[in-house]
Amino acid sequence: MPSVALKLYSVFFKFVFKHRLQNLIQSSNDESSGLYGVTTRPEESVSASNPSFTDGVATKDIHIDPFTALSIRIFLPDSSLSPPEQPDSKPKLRSSQKDDLNSHNLRRSSYGPLNTGAPRNDSRRSSLEGLNVRSDNNAYRGYSPSPQNCRKLPVMLQFHGGGWVSGSNDSVANDYFCRRIAKLCDVIVVAVGYRLAPENKYPAAFEDGLKVLNWLAKQANLAECSKSLGNGARGVGSEFTNAEFQRHFVDAFGASMVEPWLAAHGDPSRCVLLGVSCGANIADYVARKAVEAGKLLDPVKVVAQILMYPFFIGNVPTQSEIKLANSYFYDKAMCLQAWKLFLTKEEFSLDHPAANPLIPDRGPPLKLMPPTLTVVAEHDWMRDRAIAYSEALRKVNVDAPVLEYKDAVHEFATLDMLLKTPQADACAEDIAIWVKKYISLRGHEFSY
C-alpha cells in the first residue's frame, strides 16, 4: 500500500487541484484569450533553461509558432559531444544493467514480451577539440553541421501531463524528468509546451503536438539544405563564411531558421514519442497522424512510442474505473471535470476519439501503429483501459508490452514529490532498456 505521507500529500493535491478546476470553470466562459493561449499557469514552479551542461544536460527554449503560445524546450545530453558511433562495434552489457534486467520482476509485472535493446554509450569527452563550437563559460551554443565530428542522437518528443489544464514543459518536475530520460536513453528530448484548456479546447493540444513533429521534419530538411549550400560554395572557391551561408539561407526562406543543436546532433529518422498522462493521449494522436502521413514526414520516422499512465476513459466503465474511482491524486470526478474543460459542450463524450482509443473506426488500422510501451500503476483507476489498448495492439502483432508497477499511483514517476523514489528510478530505467531496441544504430543492438 502507498505510504502515509503519500496519502496525506494526495489529499492536499486533490484539494488544490479541485480549487484550480473550479476557478477555471468560472473563467471558462471568457473568450477574450483568443487562439494564442497559455502553456503554463502563474502558480506553476518553472525551471529556467540553461545552455551549460548542468548535470550532463544543456537546455534551451524556443517559441516555434508566432501565432500561438506553442513552445518547446530542448534537452541535449553531453554524450552528443562524444565521437560518432561506429556501427560495426557492439557494446557490452554492463553488469549493473544485467542486474537491472534480472530485478525487473521484483518491481513490476509485464504483459506481453518486453523487448530490450542496447545500453547507452557511456563514453564522454570533456574536450571540444576538433569541433566548431561556440562556447562561453561552458554554455553550449551549437555549431554548423559537420558529419565527421557530430554524434547523431535520436530525438524524443515529450508531452507533459496535467489533466489538460495545468503542467508545463518547463516546470521543475518536468525539467527533472526530461533530464533523466535524456541521459538514460541517450536522446535529445524535445519537451512540447502545448496550449492548455480551457483557453484552448480540443483539438488545440493535439494540433500543437503534430505541429512540433512537422517542425522537426522541416528542421531536418533545412539543415540538409544548409549543409548542401555550404559544401557547394566551398567547392567553387567562395569566400563566404559559415555565418554568411547561414544568413543567406535564412534570407532565402524568410522566417525559417536552422536550429543548431538539432542540426548538429539530431537524427529524426529515430524519433520516439513519450506522453505522460494526458500527454500520452497527444502522443498516440501524433503517432497515428505520422502513420497516415507516411513518407510526407521524411526524414522523420516515428520508430516507437511510450504511453505513461494514459488519460484514457470511455462510456462503458472498466473494472478499475469502478473499484478505484476515488483513487489517489487524480480521481475520476476530477478527471471528468478536466475533460469537460478540454472538450467543447457540443463534442463532450467519454467515447470521444481523444478519450477512448478503442472506439470503432478510429484510424489508422492498429496493425500500422509503431511499437508501444505502456506504463500503468496499480492504484490508477485508468489502468484497465490502457492495458486493453495494449492488448488490442498485440493482437495485430504490434510490439506493445505493459509495465505495471505495484503499489504505484497515477504519475508515480513524474509527480514532483515522487520523482526521486526508487519506483521512479526503476521506471525510467525500464523505459530506457526497452526503447534502446528501436533507437540503437545497427550493430549496437543486444541479443538475448
What are the residue numbers of the active site?
277, 380, 410
Contact (Cβ atoms closer than 8 angstroms) between residue 246 and residue 234: no
Contact (Cβ atoms closer than 8 angstroms) between residue 195 and residue 68: yes
DSSP secondary structure, 377-393, as one string: ETT-TTHHHHHHHHHHH
Contact (Cβ atoms closer than 8 angstroms) between residue 239 and residue 99: no
In 3D space, the residue among 217, 224, 366 whose CA is nearest the CA of residue 296 turns out to be 217
Cell of 107: 518491481
Distance (Å, rounded) from C-alpha 38 to C-alpha 158? 18
Contact (Cβ atoms closer than 8 angstroms) between residue 159 and residue 282: yes
Beta bridge partners of 154: 267
Contact (Cβ atoms closer than 8 angstroms) between residue 339 and residue 313: yes
Sign of CA dihedral 277, 63, 340, 291: negative
Alpha helices in 307-360 (DSSP H): 319-323, 332-342
Distance (Å, rounded) from C-alpha 354 to C-alpha 206? 9
Q: CA angle at residue 81 from 255 to 77, to 5 degrees?
A: 75
* CA Rg value for the chain: 22
Length of the chain: 448
Distance (Å, rounded) from C-alpha 227 to C-alpha 246? 9
Distance (Å, rounded) from C-alpha 236 to C-alpha 398? 50
Q: CA angle at residue 58 from 440 to 142, to 5 degrees?
A: 85
Report which residue type is found at 79.
Answer: S
